[in-house]
Structure formats: structure tokens, C-alpha cells
């Protein structure tokens, strides 16, 4: 028996294998993988020293199966193995926008867990929203595995749409902010290369400071905002241009779109 089976060895499949081995303490010999693309499957087997097999064997031999294919491939992937799953297994779906009930309609026996990671999960620094079909004594074990991808938040399934709008789409908002910050530096005379490095480190350092001090963002903001100083002039410009309003609306709209897409 293997602890974990991974079906679909693309970007996210690789991130899961890597995170499980490097951060969750799962031995590579406890992982078995499958991909319809044999080159991709062999690449993962060789790079991470895992086992590999056809999809039926992977389902048959794994305690916890990660389903990491594109949503459009859901039916084609699960139909051939729907009778292979057993009652005591767990199926963790990474498929964006695919509801637990839809997977349950395809495979009845395993307990279904749905997760919503974001792209920083590819380097073990993601936000991972997780919803369980029902309570299980294996919850802690699953959450500990997911910690290999980043910070894990258990929520009700309907809140996964909000997680999609906040942390799923969030990296794109942050990349846009970083690019704009760097361009500001260019406008005022820095090279883009230097400006980008400064913008990245400013975001990284500020996020770490927030995390390590556990202070409210407003408290840390006030600490860099001296009376009649430079920061209040910059903040006032952001305020005039509805910076916070734009970001709140971005999360709102992306959440609504996620709800629409998963219908
Ligand atoms: N990437 C992210 O940051 C991210 C974030 C949140 C959620 N997700 C979710 O993660 C899932 C995977 O995304 P991805 O970016 O890793 O996609 P991807 O790179 O395309 O990987 C999917 C892999 O599964 C393979 N595959 C397709 N049908 C299969 C089958 N029947 N049996 C076995 N393997 C099969 C694909 O092979 P072919 O290429 O030959 O089809 C491909 O190698 C998606 O559902 C997505 O919604 C991804």
C-alpha cells in the first residue's frame, strides 16, 4: 500500500509531490503517481523517486488519492476507476470550481475533500482552502499533508469561492501592484531592474513583518507614517484614487465569477 497516490502530474501535481516529500515528511517511496502523458509521469518518477503505475493501480494501492487534472478531464479520468475506489479511501480534488457533490456523483465510496490552492503553492508558500465532505478522524492527517503546500484554512465549501477571489486570484493582484510600484520607481529615475527588485523585497519584507509581529496592518502602517512626512503624501494619493475600494471590489467580483463558473 502507498500513503498517497497522485493522478495528474502537471504543475500542481508536481507541487503536491514536492511539498509532500520536502515539507510534509512523506517518503518518496510512499507516493505513487499516474499521468496520461507518460513522459510527464516518467519525469516525476525520476525526479522525485516515486513509484508509478496505471490509474487503476494508483487508486487500488493508495490510502489518499490526489486528483490533479484539469476540470474538463474530470469525467474521463474518474469514469474508468469509479468502481475501484473503496469506502475507507480519501479523494482530494484540486479541481477549481468543481463541487464536492459533483465528484460524489461520479465516485460514491471515498470521502471527498476539495482544496483550493494558489500558485505560490508551487514553492510551498501557498494558501490552501480545504473543505471536507463530512467529519472524519483522518482530517488532521489530510491537513498535515496539505501543509507541504503552504498555510491551510479549513472552510465551508461555499467559502472556497471567496478563497478563490482572495488568495486564488490574489497573486495576480500582488504582481500587478509590484509592477506598478516598480514603474513608479522608473518614473522617478530608477532602472526597472533595480526598481523591480526593490518592489519585490518591499512586499516580501512587509508581509513577513506583518506575519512575524501579528500586528494589525493599520498599526504597522501608522508606524511608517510620520506627521507631514513622505508616506502620508503617498497614502493620500492612494486614498484619492480609491485604492482600497478597488481591491475590495476585485475580491468581490472574482468571488462572484468563481460562483458563476462553478454552477
Ligand atoms: N496551477 C495552479 O496554480 C492551480 C491552482 C489552483 C487549482 N489548480 C487546479 O489543479 C488542477 C491541475 O492544474 P495544473 O495546472 O497542474 O494542470 P496541468 O499542468 O495541465 O496538469 C494536469 C495533468 O493531468 C494530465 N491528465 C489529463 N487527463 C488525465 C487522466 N485521465 N489521467 C491522468 N492524467 C491526466 C494532463 O496530461 P495532458 O497535458 O496530456 O492532458 C497533465 O499532465 C486543475 O484542475 C486546476 O483547476 C491549479
Domain's final residue, options 105, 138, 161: 161
The CATH number of residue 154's host domain is 3.40.50.720
Q: Write down the pLDDT at residue 194.
A: 98
pLDDT-based confidence at residue 262 (cuts at 50, 70, 90): confident
In the predicted model, is pLDDT for residue 263 greater than 90? no
Domain's final residue, options 126, 161, 196: 161
Q: Write down the pLDDT at residue 77.
A: 98
Output the ligand 1 site: residues, CB below 6 A: 7-13, 34-37, 40, 55, 68-71, 73, 76-77, 94-96, 117-119
Ligand 1 pocket mutation, candidates 19, 35, 126, criterion most atoms within 8 A of CB:
35
Q: What percent of the chain has pLDDT over 90?
A: 98
Separation of 70 CA from ligand 1 center, angstroms? 4
Average pLDDT of the segment spanning 241-245: 98
Ligand 1 pocket mutation, candidates 5, 6, 9, 12, criterion most atoms within 8 A of CB:
12
Whether residues 45 and 66 share a domain: the answer is yes
Q: What is the pLDDT of residues 28-54, one digit of tens each?
A: 999 999 999 999 999 999 999 999 999
Domain's final residue, options 144, 161, 178: 161
CB 153 within 8 A of CB 129: yes
Q: How far apart are the first and last CA of the chain?
A: 37
Separation of 78 CA from ligand 1 center, angstroms? 14
Of the candidates 13, 130, 120, 5, the one whose C-alpha atom is nearest the C-alpha of residue 73 is 13
pLDDT-based confidence at residue 123 (cuts at 50, 70, 90): very high
- 15 Cα nearest atom in ligand 1: 16
**Atom 20 (ligand 1): residue with closest C-alpha?**
10
- 93 Cα nearest atom in ligand 1: 45
Average pLDDT of the segment spanning 190-199: 98
Whether residues 176 and 150 share a domain: the answer is no
Whether residues 69 and 183 share a domain: the answer is no
pLDDT-based confidence at residue 151 (cuts at 50, 70, 90): very high
pTM, rounded to two decimals: 0.93
Q: What percent of the chain has pLDDT over 70?
A: 100
- 156 phi, psi to nearest 5 deg: -65, 150
Q: What is the pLDDT of residues 19-28, one digit of tens each?
A: 999 999 999 9
251: Cβ–Cβ under 8 A, 6 or more apart, which residues? 162, 165, 166, 169
Q: Write down the pLDDT at residue 206.
A: 98
Whether residues 111 and 12 share a domain: the answer is yes
Whether residues 149 and 182 share a domain: the answer is no
Q: Write down the pLDDT at residue 192.
A: 98
Distance of CA 44 to the CA centre of its chain: 20
Amino acid at each position: 500500500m502507498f500513503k498517497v497516490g497522485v493522478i495528474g502530474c502537471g504543475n500542481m501535481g508536481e507541487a503536491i509531490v514536492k511539498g509532500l516529500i520536502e515539507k510534509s515528511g512523506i517518503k518518496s517511496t510512499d507516493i505513487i503517481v499516474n499521468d496520461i502523458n507518460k513522459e510527464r509521469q516518467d519525469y516525476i518518477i525520476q525526479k522525485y523517486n516515486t513509484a508509478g503505475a496505471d490509474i487503476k493501480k494508483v487508486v487500488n494501492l493508495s490510502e489518499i488519492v490526489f486528483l490533479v487534472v484539469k476540470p474538463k478531464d474530470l469525467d474521463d479520468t474518474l469514469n474508468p476507476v469509479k468502481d475501484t475506489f473503496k469506502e475507507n479511501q480519501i479523494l482530494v480534488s484540486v479541481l477549481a470550481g468543481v463541487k464536492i457533490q459533483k465528484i460524489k456523483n461520479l465516485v460514491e465510496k471515498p470521502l471527498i475533500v476539495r482544496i483550493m490552492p494558489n500558485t505560490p503553492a508551487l514553492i510551498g508558500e501557498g494558501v490552501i482552502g480545504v473543505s471536507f465532505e463530512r467529519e472524519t478522524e483522518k482530517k488532521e492527517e489530510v491537513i498535515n499533508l496539505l501543509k507541504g503546500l503552504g498555510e491551510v484554512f479549513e472552510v465551508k465549501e461555499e467559502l472556497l469561492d471567496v478563497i478563490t477571489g482572495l488568495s486564488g486570484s490574489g497573486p495576480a493582484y500582488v504582481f500587478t501592484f509590484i509592477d506598478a510600484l516598480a514603474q513608479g520607481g522608473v518614473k522617478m529615475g530608477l532602472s526597472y531592474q533595480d526598481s523591480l527588485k526593490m518592489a519585490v523585497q518591499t512586499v516580501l519584507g512587509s508581509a513577513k513583518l506583518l506575519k512575524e509581529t501579528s500586528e494589525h496592518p493599520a498599526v504597522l502602517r501608522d508606524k511608517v507614517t510620520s506627521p507631514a512626512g513622505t508616506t502620508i503624501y503617498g497614502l493620500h494619493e492612494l486614498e484619492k484614487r480609491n485604492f482600497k475600494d478597488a481591491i475590495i471590489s476585485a475580491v468581490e467580483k472574482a468571488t462572484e465569477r468563481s460562483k458563476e463558473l462553478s454552477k
